[in-house]
């Protein structure tokens, strides 16, 4: 799931996605830069919900 400056707004979405899927799964959240305010939220959620993973893209922003 791509994100850009979502910050705390991403948390309820990721929690809903996690709750909705009962099968084994992973949720990859892709962001463009480490300073994105979404990153600390992802790190906190990933510590609590091991199916969530943040991934910094190495391609051009927005690609």
DSSP-derived letter for residue 58 is -
Q: How far is CA 51 from the centre of its chain?
A: 10
Choose among 32, 24, 23, 22: nearest CA to 57: 32
| Geometric angle at alpha carbon 14, from 19 and 1, rounded to 5° | 125
Domain boundaries defined on the chain: 7-56
What pLDDT tens digit does each residue of the chain (63 aa) get?
999 999 999 999 999 999 999 999 999 999 999 999 999 999 999 999 999 999 999 876 655
The candidate with the shortest Cα–Cα distance to 19, out of 29, 27, 8, 30, is 27
pLDDT of res. 61: 61
15 neighbors 46 (Cβ within 8 angstroms): no
């Amino acid at each position: 799931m791509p994100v850009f400056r979502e910050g705390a707004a991403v948390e309820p979405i990721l929690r809903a996605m996690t709750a909705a899927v009962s099968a084994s799964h992973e949720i990859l959240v892709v962001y463009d830069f480490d300073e994105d305010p979404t990153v600390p939220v992802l790190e906190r959620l990933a510590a609590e919900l091991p199916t969530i993973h943040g991934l910094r893209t190495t391609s051009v922003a927005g690609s």
